[in-house]
């Protein structure tokens, strides 16, 4: 490869041999192109396999074509390799294999893994868990994506930035890429480019960025697609910084609470059901909430089985439970009635009205801001809780909503139901418009 072909951010990425790499990026800055060379070069040098995973089949086929370009550049007419639309096999036995993003497809492979446009996969966490063992012996795990809202990918990027996970972290926006020579690289590959006619670099760069921005339907889309800023639908109730300051390790499963406990149950069928239990602790006349139990049920459509698990949790903490707040919406009515019949006044049924959702959201903000709650260092929990946002309607009415790729902020709702009841009992109320 001739010197100066790659831009600085591409070259740093290509040369990086870290076990784990995560790259949050703008669209159309040549990272997929750089990835194809990175994979081809390493197959030739090391002989280990590489698995490229993409959500769309056409993207996977295009990536294989990009890899074939480099193979032909290296080998010329010799072609000591074989290829299909989804696989290249090199003379040393190593392969580049393109797969769809079903986590089960990764099982049985070993080598490097590239998860491309990771934020656009439906179940990112399962895909991540499936990819890690593939790289266990001597492979690299490379995660590359533009943002797609407050996803698991976004959460991984934040944790990498904070040094909580051992990832080599890259972030390149469109202005970053332009500053490092993207427009000039485009001109070299396309001599007829309109930007070649602009003599001064700063004007050329400004025009290029303005053209990209104007092609987006609004500023928010531009910021996510080209500035690597994930879109929520408003301001987060609990920010990542607030969450990180309230982290404590998960207690031992056999931990016996020393004081009164409260619980919240948010019921779902297609989404998650989440059960949360807090121990209430008083320190210097302030009430703290220590998370001692939290469990999710995923895609559990049998409400009788859900109800039995609710009972198991109630029985475990029965001697110290002050109350259990349960979502009695249309799905939860049956379990709520059964628990009321068995445990009576211990159960507090709650309808998630507009007023109740506003209140529990603001109580959650309050206890996180004041550091009066403990949560666990778990990505799935953090992503869920930090995805609840507040927006305003055209008439100025605040609305609270949020979702991740796997939930409707069910952890947030479960915890918020328990916290709201306790804070209201302490005499603190929020005025809801």
pLDDT digits (tens, 9 = 90+) for 209-237: 999 998 886 677 788 899 998 865 457 88
Q: Maximum Cα–Cα distance for the chain, whole Å?
A: 81
Considering the domain architecture, whether residues 158 and 251 belong to the same structural domain is answered as: no
| Closest of 153, 144, 117 to residue 406, by C-alpha | 153
pLDDT at 392: 59
pLDDT category, 427, cuts 50, 70, 90?
Answer: low
The three-class DSSP label of residue 24 is strand
pLDDT at 395: 53
pLDDT at 1: 62
Considering the domain architecture, whether residues 418 and 307 belong to the same structural domain is answered as: yes
Domain count, the chain: 2
Is 118 inside any structural domain? yes
| Number of H-type helices and E-type strands within the chain | 15, 17
CATH number of the domain to which 393 belongs? 3.30.420.240
Sign for the pseudo-dihedral over CA of 117, 122, 128, 134: negative
Which one is predicted more confidently, 250 or 56?
A: 250
pLDDT at 430: 45
Distances (CA, A) of 426 to 65, 130, 363, 420: 64, 46, 12, 10
Is 210 inside any structural domain? no
Is 206 inside any structural domain? no
- Average pLDDT, stretch 118-128? 88
**Does 89 score more than 50 pLDDT?**
yes
pLDDT at 398: 72
How much of the chain, in percent, has pLDDT values that exceed 70?
Answer: 94
What's the whole-number average pLDDT of the chain?
A: 90
pLDDT at 431: 42
CATH number of the domain to which 87 belongs? 3.40.50.300
pLDDT at 143: 98
- pLDDT tens digits for range 328-386: 887 888 999 999 999 999 999 998 888 889 899 989 999 999 999 999 999 889 989 98
pLDDT at 233: 43
How much of the chain, in percent, has pLDDT values that exceed 90?
Answer: 68
pLDDT category, 429, cuts 50, 70, 90?
Answer: very low
pLDDT at 150: 72
Residue 92 CA to residue 408 CA, distance in Å, equals: 48
Determine which of 18-27, 128-137, 142-151 has the lowest per-residue pLDDT on average.
Answer: 142-151
Is 153 inside any structural domain? yes
pLDDT at 3: 66
| Closest of 33, 34, 39, 66 to residue 52, by C-alpha | 39
pLDDT at 433: 38
Considering the domain architecture, whether residues 133 and 251 belong to the same structural domain is answered as: no
Considering the domain architecture, whether residues 397 and 269 belong to the same structural domain is answered as: yes
Q: Which of 172, 195, 220 is the last residue of a domain?
A: 172
Residues whose CB falls within 8 Å of the CB of residue 274, separated by 6 or more in sequence, listed in order:
265, 266, 294, 295, 296, 297, 410, 411, 413, 414
Q: Residue 88: which domain range?
A: 8-172
Residues whose CB falls within 8 Å of the CB of residue 151, separated by 6 or more in sequence, listed in order:
119, 124, 230, 383, 404, 405
**Does 243 score more than 50 pLDDT?**
yes
Is 168 inside any structural domain? yes
pLDDT at 229: 86
Considering the domain architecture, whether residues 160 and 246 belong to the same structural domain is answered as: no
- Average pLDDT, stretch 303-310? 92
**Cβ pair 409, 400 in contact under 8 A:** no
- Average pLDDT, stretch 119-137? 91
Is 215 inside any structural domain? no
């Amino acid at each position: 490869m001739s010197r100066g072909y790659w831009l600085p951010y591409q070259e740093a990425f290509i040369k990086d041999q870290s076990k784990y790499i995560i790259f949050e990026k703008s669209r159309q800055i040549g990272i997929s192109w750089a990835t194809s060379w990175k994979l081809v070069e390493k197959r030739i040098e090391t002989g280990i396999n590489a698995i490229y995973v993409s959500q769309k089949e056409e993207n996977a086929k295009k990536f294989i074509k990009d890899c074939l370009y480099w193979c032909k550049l290296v080998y010329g007419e010799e072609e000591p390799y074989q290829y299909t639309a989804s696989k290249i096999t090199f003379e040393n036995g190593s392969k580049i294999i393109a797969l769809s993003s079903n986590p089960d497809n990764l099982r049985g492979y070993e080598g490097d893994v590239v998860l491309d446009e990771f934020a656009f996969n439906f179940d990112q966490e399962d895909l991540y868990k499936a990819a890690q063992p593939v790289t266990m012996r001597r492979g690299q795990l490379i995660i590359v994506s533009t943002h797609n809202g407050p996803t698991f990918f976004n959460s991984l990027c934040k944790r990498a930035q904070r040094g909580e996970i051992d990832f080599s972290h890259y972030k390149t926006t469109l202005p970053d890429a332009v500053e490092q020579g993207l427009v000039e690289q485009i001109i070299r590959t396309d001599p007829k480019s309109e930007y070649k006619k602009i003599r001064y670099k700063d004007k050329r760069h400004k025009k290029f960025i303005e053209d990209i921005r104007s092609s987006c339907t609004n500023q928010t889309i531009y910021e996510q697609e080209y500035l690597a800023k994930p879109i929520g639908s408003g301001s987060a109730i609990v920010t990542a910084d607030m969450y990180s300051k309230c982290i404590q390790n998960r207690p031992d499963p056999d931990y016996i609470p020393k004081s009164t406990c409260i619980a919240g149950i948010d019921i779902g069928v297609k989404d998650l059901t989440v059960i949360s239990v807090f121990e209430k602790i008083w320190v210097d006349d302030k009430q703290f909430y220590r998370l001692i139990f939290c469990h999710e049920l995923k895609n559990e459509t049998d409400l009788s089985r859900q109800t039995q698990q609710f009972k198991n949790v109630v029985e475990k903490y029965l001697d110290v439970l002050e109350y259990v707040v349960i979502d009695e919406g249309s799905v939860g009515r049956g379990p709520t009635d059964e628990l009321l019949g068995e445990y009576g006044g211990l159960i507090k049924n709650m309808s998630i009205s507009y007023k109740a959702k506003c209140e529990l959201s603001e109580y959650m903000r309050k206890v996180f801001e004041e550091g009066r709650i403990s949560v666990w260092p778990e990505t799935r929990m953090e992503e869920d809780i930090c995805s609840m946002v507040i927006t305003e309607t055209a008439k100025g009415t605040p609305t609270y909503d949020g979702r991740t790729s796997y939930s409707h902020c069910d952890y947030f709702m479960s915890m918020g139901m328990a916290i709201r009841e306790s804070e209201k009992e302490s005499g603190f109320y929020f005025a809801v418009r």
